[in-house]
């Protein structure tokens, strides 16, 4: 995989990451922190109301691959609960 599209949600609402509605990650770019899929950072804004929230991130491999081969892959999903406190 050379690239991924990342979309995140908090509950049922899409969440901006680094003030963008999605992230485009090229893991083969040597200038990127995401090189070789090792690590990367993005920021999100937490809700103002305290409580527990479900965070989801969809990782879609090679989203521009028109060969149909990428359709054999299903998006990876990362899910965890976050707590917003006062």
Q: What is the 3-state secondary structure (H, E, C) of the chain?
A: CCEEEEEEEECCEEECECCECCEEEECCCCCCCCHHHCCCCCCCCCCCCCEEEEEEEEEEECCCCCCCHHHHCCCEEEEEEEEECC
Model pLDDT for residues 5-63, shown as the tens digit of each residue: 889 999 889 999 989 999 888 776 656 555 555 567 788 888 899 999 999 988 888 77
* Averaged pLDDT, 78-84: 90
Taking 90 as the threshold, does the pLDDT of residue 81 lie above it? yes
Cα three-residue angle 25-7-57, rounded to 5 degrees: 100
């Amino acid at each position: 995989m050379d690239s991924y599209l990342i979309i995140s949600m908090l509950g049922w609402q899409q969440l901006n990451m680094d003030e963008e509605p999605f992230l485009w990650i090229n893991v083969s770019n040597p200038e990127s922190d995401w090189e070789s899929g090792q690590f990367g950072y993005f920021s999100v804004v937490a809700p103002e109301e305290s409580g527990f929230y479900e965070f989801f991130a969809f990782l879609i491999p090679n989203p521009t691959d028109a060969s149909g081969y990428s359709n054999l892959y299903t998006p990876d999903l990362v899910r965890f609960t976050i707590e917003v406190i006062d």
